[in-house]
């Protein structure tokens, strides 16, 4: 009998057969509050009627309008729409399917456009699992183990994670910027460095928001040295953090924005945007793919963006996020919790035991929460952070429910 690869593991034992809004239902009809959003994907919730309708209509007209062969109408429509939500000056877009492909595409562009070989990445960053993006990824060792050596020319620099360093935000940011300058003076000269890749909020690496001074410091160094600033907004984008893009919290403008996940509410679609001037410095023939910009995914993305705008979901993410952080902070009085942090509906709860990251405690809470009907994920190099990622449509009542189940899971996991 054939079997699913044992290398694919599920974080919960739930067998989901149906999704609606913030809820998943299993084959017994049991309801779960899905605060994983399929790893930050179901921005408009599961099966939003308008997204479903748009995808069904498109599937009946044209599924695969292969974009290096023909142009299908949803593609220019989506380009137009993305241009409206991107920062000023980012007006040219390339499309792929998975996040990692968009990261690889951006990597190709920064090397071609600058003629420089190296890139700087954040320690703890996650950018994907294919060889190029994996080489930019330092969120935990099992991702690279047994696969090294990987692509050369990648230089990690410290990301401001005040809890880990035990310093204030200011001290940590200052240290990180000094280390970046040192890296540029000792390992990768600016003239050899094409770009700095950053997640405005470290995702898989532990749900750690950057700081304003750090992000501004990155922008200043990029401007000074002719390097490009690439914001990987695959997890932080499309309203997740209570602003349309995560970098907007820090008042900096990147040269390239990468997006995926929440963009099409669950249909596979990724993209990166840059100015037309920058995009045209890429080498002809360097970008393409079979499935990129799939017509059904583009139709779902157009519906997603319309729903986000018309239902005020960015503002909802901000308001519900404030309530979520407030509720979880009250739970954080429990001695197993070291910190609650995040922005909007991208919230992490870090577990520690006498100052040491405690992945076991986080795993117990995640497992108990699933039994109680609340789906959560963990992240961080030690699995020490429980991350709470509701869909942007979540309600005040659901947030209160989620916080109550989380509090019960923390109490019961500690007593077990
Ligand atoms: C910030 C970031 N970049 C890239 C990726 C890779 O995206 P995908 O899994 O769609 O390849 C992820 C996925 O979690 C991510 O969070």
Whose alpha carbon is nearest atom 13 of ligand 1? 128
Q: Are 44 and 393 in contact (CB under 8 A)?
A: yes
pLDDT tens profile 123-175? 999 999 999 999 999 999 999 999 999 999 999 999 999 999 999 999 999 99
pLDDT value at residue 197: 99
Asked whether 128 lines ligand 1 (CB < 6 A), one says yes
Whose alpha carbon is nearest atom 3 of ligand 1? 127
Report angle CA 322, 324, 328 to the nearest 5 degrees.
120
In the chain, the N- to C-terminal Cα span, in Å, equals 38
What letter would DSSP give residue 113? H
Instruction: Report CA(92)–ligand 1 centroid distance (Å).
Output: 21
pLDDT value at residue 167: 97
**Cα pseudo-dihedral 361, 365, 371, 373, rounded to 10:** -170
The confidence band for 414, taking pLDDT boundaries of 50, 70 and 90, is confident
pTM summary value? 0.98
pLDDT tens profile 168-206? 999 999 999 999 999 999 999 999 999 999 999 999 999
Spell out a b/e string for 359-382, using b for 16 or more CB atoms within 10 Å of the CB, else e.
bebbbbbbbbbbeebbbbbbbbbb
Asked whether 107 lines ligand 1 (CB < 6 A), one says no
Architecture of domain 16-34+312-415: Alpha-Beta Complex (3.90)
Asked whether 100 lines ligand 1 (CB < 6 A), one says yes
Ligand 1: atom nearest CA of 233 is 1
- Cα separation, 297 vs 195, whole angstroms: 29
Mean pLDDT of 105-133: 98
Beta-strand ranges (E) seen in 55-157 are 92-96, 118-122, 154-157
Whose alpha carbon is nearest atom 4 of ligand 1? 127
Asked whether 259 lines ligand 1 (CB < 6 A), one says no
Q: Are 376 and 22 in contact (CB under 8 A)?
A: no
Asked whether 197 lines ligand 1 (CB < 6 A), one says no
pLDDT tens profile 365-407? 999 999 999 999 999 999 999 999 999 999 999 999 999 999 9
- Cα separation, 209 vs 74, whole angstroms: 34
Q: Name the percent of the chain lying above pLDDT 90.
A: 98
Backbone angles phi, psi at 194, to 5 degrees: -75, -40
Instruction: Report CA(330)–ligand 1 centroid distance (Å).
Output: 31
Whether the pLDDT of residue 235 is over 90: the answer is yes
Q: Where are the domains of the chain?
A: 16-34+312-415, 51-310
Whether the pLDDT of residue 333 is over 90: the answer is no
In this chain, the answer to whether the domains covering 16-34+312-415 and 51-310 adopt an identical fold is no
The confidence band for 410, taking pLDDT boundaries of 50, 70 and 90, is very high
Mean pLDDT of 56-60: 98
Asked whether 240 lines ligand 1 (CB < 6 A), one says no
Whether the pLDDT of residue 244 is over 90: the answer is yes
What topology is assigned to 51-310 in CATH?
3.40.640
């Amino acid at each position: 009998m054939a079997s699913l690869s044992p290398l694919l593991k599920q974080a919960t034992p739930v067998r989901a057969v149906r999704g609606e809004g913030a809820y998943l239902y299993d084959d017994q009809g049991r309801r779960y509050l899905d605060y994983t959003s399929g790893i930050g994907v179901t921005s408009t919730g599961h099966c939003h009627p308008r997204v479903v309708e748009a995808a069904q209509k498109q599937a009946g007209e044209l599924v695969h309008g292969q974009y290096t062969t023909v142009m299908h109408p949803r593609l220019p429509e989506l380009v137009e729409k993305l241009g409206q939500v991107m920062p000023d000056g980012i007006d040219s877009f390339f499309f792929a399917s998975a996040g990692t492909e968009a990261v690889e595409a951006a990597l190709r562009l920064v090397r071609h456009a600058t003629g420089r070989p190296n890139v700087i990445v954040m320690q703890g960053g996650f950018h994907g699992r294919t060889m190029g993006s994996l080489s930019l990824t330092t969120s935990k060792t099992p991702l690279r183990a047994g696969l090294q050596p990987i692509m050369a020319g990648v230089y990690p620099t410290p990301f401001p994670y005040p809890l880990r360093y035990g310093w204030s935000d200011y001290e940590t940011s200052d240290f990180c910027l000094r280390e970046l300058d040192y890296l540029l003076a000792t390992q990768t000269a600016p003239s050899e460095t094409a770009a700095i890749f950053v997640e405005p909020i470290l995702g898989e690496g532990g749900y750690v928001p950057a700081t304003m001074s750090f992000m501004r410091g990155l922008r200043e160094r990029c401007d000074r040295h002719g390097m490009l600033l690439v914001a990987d907004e695959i997890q932080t984008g499309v309203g997740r953090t209570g602003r349309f893009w995560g970098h907007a919290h820090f008042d900096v403008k990147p040269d390239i924005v990468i997006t995926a996940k929440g963009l099409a509410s669950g249909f596979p679609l990724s993209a990166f945007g840059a100015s037309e001037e920058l995009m045209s410095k890429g080498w002809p023939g360097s970008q393409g793919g079979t499935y990129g910009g799939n017509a059904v995914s583009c139709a779902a993305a157009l519906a997603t963006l319309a729903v986000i705008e018309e239902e005020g979901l960015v503002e909802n993410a901000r308001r519900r996020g404030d309530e979520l952080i407030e509720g979880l902070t009250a739970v954080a009085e429990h001695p197993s919790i070291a910190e609650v942090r995040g922005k909007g509906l991208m919230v992490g709860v870090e577990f520690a035991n006498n100052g040491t990251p405690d992945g076991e405690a986080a795993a117990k809470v995640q497992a108990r929460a699933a039994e109680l009907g609340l789906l959560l994920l963990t992240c961080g190099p030690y699995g020490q952070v429980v991350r709470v990622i509701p869909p942007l449509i979540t309600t005040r009542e659901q947030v209160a429910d989620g916080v109550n189940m989380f509090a019960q899971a923390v109490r019961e996991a500690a007593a077990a």
